[in-house]
Structure 1
Amino acid sequence: MKQPYEKYTKTDHLMWKRLFERQMEILPRLASEAYLTGIEQVGFVADHIPNLTAETNPRLRALTGWEVYVVPGLIPHQEFYQHLANRQFPASTWLRSPEQLDYLEEPDMFHDTFGHVPLLCQQAFCDFMADLSRVALRFIEQSHLIERLSRLYWYTVEFGLIHENGAQKIYGGGILSSPGESAYSVRPDVPKRPFDVEVILNTPYQIDRFQEHYFVIDSYEQLYASVPEIEKLLENIEEKESVY
């Protein structure tokens, strides 16, 4: 698929502008430095929807070797992780309507692109996603293990926080594209837990409301370095279950 850029209407571009400006009013004080730098590096601006082919992908390839790969919407686990292992981030190209401003049943291109693409400029984070996906493909036929690994993806790539300069900052795309959860996630009264692979693999998540707690990494290098532990824990689960 290709991004049907010429088919975006004036209403679409105005919706992007509205969403972009709403988030950028609050994210400079809440988001990870790597994400904010990434916004500039990929050239995202308020006045038009990013052109993935002409603007975004050439910049990403030069920075980290990644690119955005257009998909129609949610795709199967195997296809999703295969793209990530190949350093292709799957993203939809449809944009929410004014009636869907604050709630969507599935991610649109603002979530996929604004929420996730700027962090694709951060090498350690990119390497984490690629290596995690290779682990996922190893266990792809075992749905119960993929469910465990999905928790890890959820609590990091989608809803992760990071310690930066003495504060907790946002790097998860699911938070970064949501004004309500951006403010909520960093509140001091909201439970935070240190990044712990084993705990995360055993912690179910929720998709229809704000998270009850968040996991906080110390660095993107810590995230990347955790992949061998993730793989080993999945192997241990597989081995225990085979015994019974």
Structure 2
Amino acid sequence: MQQQLNDVEKASVPVSAPAQPERADWTIDQQWENYTAEEHAVWKTLFERQTKLLPGRACDEFVAGMHALPIGADQIPDFRRLSEVLMQHTGWEVVAVPGLVPDEVFFEHLANRRFPAGQFIRKPNQLDYLEEPDVFHDVFGHVPMLMNPVIADYIQAYGAGGLKAKQLGMLEQLARVYWYTVEFGLVEQPDGLRIYGAGIVSSYTESIFCLDDPSPNRLRFDLERVMQTRYRIDDFQETYFVIPHLETLLDLAKIDFAPLYEKVKHHPQFEPGDVLSTDVVLTAGTSNYHRAKR
């Protein structure tokens, strides 16, 4: 991957994690007082770069959430202050974790309206690529959307659904739904397509690529289609799925996924760049970016 061109964010999807820490729920103290001046400076660089870019790109709900939270340029946010505001509005809180956590722990936190956020921040030489989600991805990317009641309910439902999907052996299919919505989702607004996915909104180059570049496909979101579609974890997405409005996610939160799992289990799996005859195509991509790299 060409790191100078792509600041892909490693999204907060559950994967295998290292040896268990002291607490069973994997939470740690943020120890906000221990952040160094250099670490606050990295946050400031990332924050200012994104906030200059996102007007006209991020959805209205993200902008509103950012304005309502104690998130600024000068220092890494204090999770305690974030949680105070979130709790008053949507009942969520932010808990610090050392990095990626096991599936069950991740889902258990979400199901109980606790968002596990990486406590560390990337190094100055990692501004454009990171192996796992840090405090900038998790807080800047995810937390503003948790101020929105629709997203707040949807992510909680995903946590509860994840525990069931793991028992049924269908976690990969459900993870694709999270990936193409919470992490890399686009939404239609009256004034055009906008970003609501945290993996995009916290990435400088993908914030441009997903809306401006002719290479990716932009398709109408369809649940079964998404559950059958693989995704890119190491580069820009080849396809973005677009919902007509955020309330669409509330409908997803109410669905019984068990019959769907049984149905898609026997269906073909699609590659990230596939376009099907049944797709509602908003933008047919040229695929030039990924074709050149292949």
TM-score normalised over the length of structure 2: 0.78
Do the aligned residues in 2 keep the contact of 1:197 with 1:229 (CA within 8 Å)? Answer: no
Task: Give yes or no for the alignment of 1:18 onto 2:45.
Answer: yes
| Structure 1 partner of 2:120 | 94
Output aligned runs, 1:193-204, within 5 Å. Answer: 193-204=219-230
Work out the CA distance in 1 between the residues paired with 2:211 and 2:261.
Answer: 34
Do the aligned residues in 2 keep the contact of 1:198 with 1:233 (CA within 8 Å)? Answer: no
Q: CA RMSD in A?
A: 1.7
| Structure 1 partner of 2:5 | none
The code of the aligned residue for 1:9 comes to T
Q: 1:239 to 1:16 in 2, by over 3 A?
A: closer
Task: Give yes or no for the alignment of 1:134 onto 2:134.
Answer: no
Do the aligned residues in 1 keep the contact of 2:224 with 2:260 (CA within 8 Å)? Answer: no
Work out the CA distance in 1 between the residues paired with 2:158 and 2:71.
Answer: 27
Question: Shift of the alpha carbon at 1:42?
Answer: 1.1
Give the match's secondary structure for 2:66.
helix
The code of the aligned residue for 1:126 comes to A
Q: Select 2:185's aligned residue among 157, 160, 163.
A: 160
The gaps in structure 1 that reach 5 residues or longer are none
Work out the CA distance in 2 between the residues paired with 1:227 and 1:97.
Answer: 37
Q: 1:27 to 1:230 in 2, by over 3 A?
A: farther
| Structure 2 partner of 1:32 | 59
Give the match's secondary structure for 2:29.
coil
Work out the CA distance in 2 between the residues paired with 1:40 and 1:17.
Answer: 16
Work out the CA distance in 2 between the residues paired with 1:216 and 1:229.
Answer: 19
Question: Shift of the alpha carbon at 1:70?
Answer: 1.1
If each structure's helix is expressed as a fraction of its own residues, which one has the higher value? 1
Query: Where do 4+ consecutive residues of structure 1 move more than 2 Å?
Result: 227-230, 232-241
Do the aligned residues in 2 keep the contact of 1:110 with 1:177 (CA within 8 Å)? Answer: yes
Question: Shift of the alpha carbon at 1:235?
Answer: 4.4
Output aligned runs, 1:185-200, within 5 Å. Answer: 185-187=210-212, 189=214, 190-200=216-226
| Structure 1 partner of 2:287 | none
Question: Shift of the alpha carbon at 1:142?
Answer: 3.5
Task: Give yes or no for the alignment of 1:61 onto 2:87.
Answer: yes
Question: Shift of the alpha carbon at 1:101?
Answer: 1.1
Question: Shift of the alpha carbon at 1:188?
Answer: 6.0
Give a deviation string over 1:81-137, Cα, whole Å, max 9, x none: 110000011101100111111111111110011010000000011111111221221
Percent identity of the aligned residues? 42
Question: Shift of the alpha carbon at 1:161?
Answer: 0.4
Do the aligned residues in 2 keep the contact of 1:66 with 1:88 (CA within 8 Å)? Answer: yes
| Structure 2 partner of 1:180 | 205
Q: 1:5 to 1:239 in 2, by over 3 A?
A: closer
| Structure 2 partner of 1:46 | 73
Q: 1:94 to 1:32 in 2, by over 3 A?
A: same
Question: Shift of the alpha carbon at 1:2?
Answer: 1.3
Q: 1:232 to 1:113 in 2, by over 3 A?
A: same
TM-score normalised over the length of structure 1: 0.93
Work out the CA distance in 1 between the residues paired with 2:190 and 2:213.
Answer: 16
Q: Return 38-47 or 148-157, whichever deviates more.
A: 38-47
Work out the CA distance in 1 between the residues paired with 2:245 and 2:103.
Answer: 27
Do the aligned residues in 2 keep the contact of 1:161 with 1:216 (CA within 8 Å)? Answer: yes
Aligned pairs, number:
239
The code of the aligned residue for 2:206 comes to E
Q: Return 156-165 or 232-241, whichever deviates more.
A: 232-241
